[in-house]
Amino acid sequence: MKPLAKQLAHINENYDLRYPTGFNLSIPSPSLCIPAVDALIATIAPGVEASDIKAQLQFAVDTRHIRPSKVRWSD
């Protein structure tokens, strides 16, 4: 995780991570990326899963009044 965080900090030093300016992006080999990504997934997965459950429960609460009826969506 530390090498990944260090690289992201370098890319984001001007607070333009989403649209980096003047930065030639290079990606290390998969053998170097996979352990960092696996560690990132292991770290954030519990929080993401808990948030997903909370969102599903909140949606069920918010829509229980229309549950017996059909809803016609139009965009």
DSSP state of 15: S
Share of the chain above pLDDT 70, in %: 88
Task: Return the biggest CA–CA distance within the chain.
Answer: 55
For the chain, what are the domain ranges? 25-65
How far is it, in rounded angstroms, from Cα 28 to Cα 58? 41
Mean pLDDT over the full length of the chain: 82
Average pLDDT rounded to a whole number, residues 28-42: 88
Average pLDDT rounded to a whole number, residues 37-43: 91
Tell me the pTM. Answer: 0.49
Q: What is the pLDDT of residues 54-67, one digit of tens each?
A: 999 999 999 888 87
